[in-house]
Amino acid sequence: MAVIHRRNFLQSSGKAAVAMTAASYSRIQGANDRLQVACIGVRGRGRSHIKQFSDRQETEVAAVVDIDQSVAERAAQYTVQLQGRKPAEYEDLRKMLEDKSIDIVTIATTNHWHALATIWACQAGKDVYVEKPASHNIFEGRKMVEAARKYMRIVQVGHQSRSVTHKLRAVKLLREGIIGKIYMARGLCYKRRETIGVRKPSPIPPGINYDLWLGPSQEIDFKKNRFHYNWHWYWHFGNGDIGNQGVHEMDIARWGLGIDELPSSVYSSGGHFLYPDDQQTPNTQQAIFDYDDAQLVFEVRGLLTGSEAGLRPVSPGGHNVIGNIFFGSKGYMTVDLYGFKTFLGEKHQPGPSMETVEKFHRDEDTKAHIENFLKAVQSRKLEDLNCDIEVGHRSAALCHMANISYRVGRKLLFDNKSETFPGDHEANKMLTRKYREPFVVPDKV
């Protein structure tokens, strides 16, 4: 019998490969080498990717990619500590994608790089695990879906909640009607954010390829307070906290509602209050999405605030409260990092609930989500994914819709089929961006 090699299995688009069982694949994989993983963006979440894929028997981190030389070097040493073998180091992800031995690419870059990195990886025959939000704008998200389908790639978005036991149980109960017909899902992102201050442009630090970091963005001077992490608060690179922490809760809210389509309208308002600094995105934001017979309501608060509906804080000082509340004809449900609770009837009698560990462990959620991803990599079945790129695209699109409404300052009607704002030129311009050559997300992937 001829030997079926790892790369041939993963890249094959034939019926035999698609139909192959996970058990059959495990025998093949065990007889050959492990799945080779490249991690792109390895300063923050990327280190978690390194840990998870290094710890698994069926995978090995073969490459780390970062535009910051010192970050790449530290990540490589960290990988050696975990798996005993040093990965290759790359500054430019395009060079890494030329390596045919790489099977899987993980992406933990700035938001504005997610789409192009995913599309290029799909075109190079790699499966992809990309962090949230899936995209930087709605156009990009749709192109990511098209690339995954055209090149028959498995693409999972890092919405770890989709693989968390108590959240899976909560959504199952919602589907079974525990609180009756749901008329509203409310997502909360109350995460304390301090001022980023005011900075002048400064020289690019040694060892950083700033041109690559800018990538699809138009050129803009380097400033320390729009580089590491604080890029989230600039429209060039991030999507504010609604597209940062908020997109997790947005995804859960949409999931709990059980509605796959995007809403018919959106209205968002808010502002950047108290701090006269360089931040562009709002630190206080509300958004209302209208469906036919239900609403999704979302709120961001980055300033001092309290909790709501008994949702538990995730920080010692109690400043960070994130979670969801579902309202139905028979009662309501709260879902947070520690479990869920239901309250039924006019007297809010306690109903089914579930508590998880006392202290939240993010790595455990990531581990479960990556296990799910690898299951789909082996089976080649999209339905095995807990958060396929289509799912991640729709949840990110809600955040983009809210931000567009906030920026134009009015309620917007939305056409779900074309994913555009009918007759609104100003809003439609924000569905995409002006790309900088050669970092262009193409119309045809």
CATH of residue 23's domain is: 3.40.50.720
Is residue 176 located within the same domain as residue 125?
no
Residue 309 lies in a domain: yes
Closest CA to 97 of 45, 16, 36: 36
- Radius of gyration (C-alpha) of the chain in whole angstroms: 22
Is residue 299 located within the same domain as residue 314?
yes
Residue 337 lies in a domain: yes
Closest CA to 312 of 163, 166, 133: 166
Is residue 171 located within the same domain as residue 276?
yes
Class of residue 73 by CB neighbours under 10 A (exposed 0-12, middle 13-18, buried 19+): middle
* Token pair listed for 225: 């307070």
Q: What is the pLDDT of residue 361?
A: 58
Q: What is the pLDDT of residue 317?
A: 65
Is residue 409 located within the same domain as residue 301?
yes
Class of residue 349 by CB neighbours under 10 A (exposed 0-12, middle 13-18, buried 19+): exposed
Angle at which helix 45-54 crosses helix 69-83, to 10 degrees, equals 30
Give the CA distances from residue 410 to residues 280, 281, 401, 405, 426, in Å, rounded to whole numbers and listed in that order. 18, 16, 11, 6, 11
Is residue 150 located within the same domain as residue 168?
no
Is residue 238 located within the same domain as residue 343?
yes
Residue 201 lies in a domain: no
Instruction: Give residue 268's Cα distance to chain centre.
Output: 21
* Token pair listed for 395: 């949840």
Is residue 272 located within the same domain as residue 420?
yes
Distance from C-alpha of 380 to C-alpha of 3, rounded to nearest angstrom? 19
Residue 253 lies in a domain: yes
Q: What is the pLDDT of residue 394?
A: 98
Distance from C-alpha of 333 to C-alpha of 315, rounded to nearest angstrom? 22
Instruction: Give φ, ψ of 301 to 5 degrees.
Output: -135, 120
CATH number reported for the structural domain that contains residue 408 in this entry: 3.30.360.10
Is residue 294 located within the same domain as residue 312?
yes
Is residue 318 located within the same domain as residue 233?
yes
Distance from C-alpha of 252 to C-alpha of 56, rounded to nearest angstrom? 28
Name the residue type at position 350.
Answer: P
Residue 137 lies in a domain: yes
Is residue 184 located within the same domain as residue 40?
no
Beta bridge partners of 65: 40, 90
Residue 202 lies in a domain: no
Direct distance between the N- and C-terminal alpha carbons of the chain, in angstroms, rounded to an integer: 37
Angle at which helix 362-379 crosses helix 45-54, to 10 degrees, equals 60
Range of the domain at 127: 6-161+369-388
Helix (H, G, I), strand (E, B) or coil at 146: helix
Q: What is the pLDDT of residue 398?
A: 98
Is residue 118 located within the same domain as residue 172?
no
Distance from C-alpha of 422 to C-alpha of 426, rounded to nearest angstrom? 11
Instruction: Give φ, ψ of 38 to 5 degrees.
Output: -115, 130
**Residues of the chain with confidence (pLDDT) below 70:** 1-32, 316-318, 357-363
Q: State the residue for tokens 């050559």.
A: 437
In degrees, rounded to 5, the angle at the alpha carbon of residue 12 between the alpha carbons of residues 384 and 37 is 65
Q: What is the pLDDT of residue 384?
A: 98
Is residue 329 located within the same domain as residue 384?
no
Domain count, the chain: 2
Residue 25 lies in a domain: yes
Helix (H) or strand (E) holding 349: strand 349-350
Which residues make Cβ contacts (< 8 Å) with residue 238, sequence separation at least 6?
Answer: 110, 111, 112, 136, 231, 232, 244, 281
Residue 422 lies in a domain: yes
Name the residue type at position 412.
Answer: L
Closest CA to 430 of 411, 403, 409: 403
Angle at which helix 362-379 crosses helix 22-31, to 10 degrees, equals 90
Residue 55, Cβ neighbours under 10 Å: how many? 14
Distance from C-alpha of 187 to C-alpha of 301, rounded to nearest angstrom? 11
Which residues make Cβ contacts (< 8 Å) with residue 29, sequence separation at least 6?
Answer: 6, 35, 58, 378
The answer to whether the CB of 264 falls within 8 A of the CB of 416 is yes
Closest CA to 102 of 24, 42, 27, 34: 34
Tens digits of residue pLDDT in 405-422: 999 999 999 999 999 999
Helix (H, G, I), strand (E, B) or coil at 173: helix
